[in-house]
Amino acid sequence: MARSQRTVQRPTGVTVFAVLEIIFTVMSFLFWIFVALVSAIVQLVPEAKQMMGAALAEAEVSIAYLAVTAVVSVMVSVAGFIAAMGALKLRVWGRKMMMVVAGFSILYGIVNQVAFNQIETGFFFLLPGLVYNGLILWYFNRKDVKAVFS
């Protein structure tokens, strides 16, 4: 029987995670676009570069690192949004992409914490993302959830 002919009830968990992913990715996308724009302005306006350069030096962050982080984060946000839309439509690629984005987000969050040597102080901010993305990996790997996508 063709996929379009069968009716499958979407599990509530899939809906909840997909909607949360859409909300989080839109918020992340907007935030990182703002960071990218500010980074570009700082590079182009000498006065802004001096002001931000001092503030970022104190925070031990480079403008270039912020720009790279913004670009990667925007790409992850777009991928997460596409994955969530696929999961809502019960597409196999949507389920797999949700897991790939979640796994990448966990690794990326840990790498950023290590890069800034903020494992102890930044763990509070890292923990919600680890838990959320860990739950996505666990949920979308369940046999009953896999069965809905096949």
Greater pLDDT, 116 or 96: 96
Determine the pLDDT at residue 68.
80
Q: What 3-state class would DSSP assign to 67?
A: helix
pLDDT (tens digit, 9 = 90+) per residue, 51-107? 666 666 555 566 677 778 888 999 999 999 999 999 999 999 999 999 999 999 999
Task: Give long-range contacts, CB 8 A cutoff, 24+ apart: 119-128.
Answer: none
Instruction: Indicate if the pLDDT at residue 1 is higher than 50.
Output: no
How high is the mean pLDDT of the chain?
84
Token pair listed for 121: 């102080």
- Cα separation, 95 vs 88, in Å, equals 9
Q: Which among 77, 52, 58, 66 has a CA at the least distance from the CA of 112?
A: 66
